[in-house]
Amino acid sequence: MESHLRGQLWHASGGLVYHGRAWRYRNTLWAPFLQQVESWLEAWAPRPKQLLIVGPSAGYTLPAQWLSRFARIDILEPDPLARWLLEQRFPDCVFHAGDLDCFALDEGPMQLAHAYPHSAILFSNVIGQIFEGGPTPIWRAALQMAMRGRCWASYHDIASCHILPARRQVVTLPACSRLEDILPHFWDGREIAVYDHGCLDLADAQCAYGMWSITPRQHHIVGWCSNTEG
Ligand SMILES: C[S@@+](CC[C@H](N)C(=O)[O-])C[C@H]1O[C@@H](n2cnc3c(N)ncnc32)[C@H](O)[C@@H]1O
């Protein structure tokens, strides 16, 4: 049995609020993070000519030139406005929208891998936003199993808070790092309360961490992990 995406304009992680923020900050506050995502994507360099993007929204964090290297792009995105904006923002790309909800069931990652056997898979800042407190251990294990030998990557929220970070440089740390190891790289060892998005150890390889200030009062550590096999 598969679970299907239902159209939604008000999802907490996307929808109208997110489009408004993108419209306001994309060229200013977001610019350093967008550059960072571009360099992560360029370094990933997937071999497959087909790409599946999970949670693209309108592709605010995705570079047009990088997308243009793919012969086919599939997307899984429940927000109909986001899908329409995606087409307007990237007129040179054709996006094929699917309706598999890979987060709804424990077997979602397996269903995803089977539905798109020849595609590189990009989780585009979505895993840290879907599950309250992070993916369940079962879903996480299913993801690792489903992505074994596949070309895939994810950038996802790790921790967020309202306090302005002291530093914004990207750091690369081993897979077993704890939040206490990561926070001092951005907040200088100060005692701060953060919301833990529960996405540490999503992959069993090292992870890079960057800072995304989504608004002047909302700052997210975003993790990047990738695999080029497959
Ligand atoms: C923070 S936004 C992603 C940002 C986006 N990648 C960008 O470049 O601007 C998270 C997106 O995930 C989408 N989403 C929510 N539930 C989803 C699901 N079950 N499958 C795929 N995408 C989902 C939301 O509609 C939203 O557009």
Residues with CB under 6 A from ligand 1: 5, 11, 13-14, 18, 54-57, 59-62, 76-79, 82, 101, 103, 124-126, 129-130
Strand 72-76 to 95-97 pairing: parallel
54 Cα–ligand 1 center, Å: 7
Q: How big is the CA angle at 131 (ends 126 and 135), to the nearest 5 degrees?
A: 95
Integer Cα distance of 223 and 209 in angstroms? 4
Domains and CATH numbers, the chain: 16-227 (3.40.50)
Beta bridge partners of 4: 100
169 Cα–ligand 1 center, Å: 25
Residue 1 confidence (pLDDT): 79
Integer Cα distance of 206 and 204 in angstroms? 7
Q: What global pTM score does this model have?
A: 0.96
Integer Cα distance of 212 and 219 in angstroms? 6
Ligand 1: residue whose CA is nearest its atom 9: 60
Integer Cα distance of 213 and 230 in angstroms? 33
One digit per residue, the tens of pLDDT, for the chain of length 230 reads 788 988 776 666 678 999 999 999 999 999 999 999 999 999 999 999 999 999 999 999 999 999 999 999 999 999 999 999 999 999 999 999 999 999 999 999 999 999 999 999 999 999 999 999 999 999 999 999 999 999 999 999 999 999 999 999 999 999 878 999 999 999 987 788 999 999 998 887 889 999 999 999 999 999 999 998 87
Residue 204 confidence (pLDDT): 79
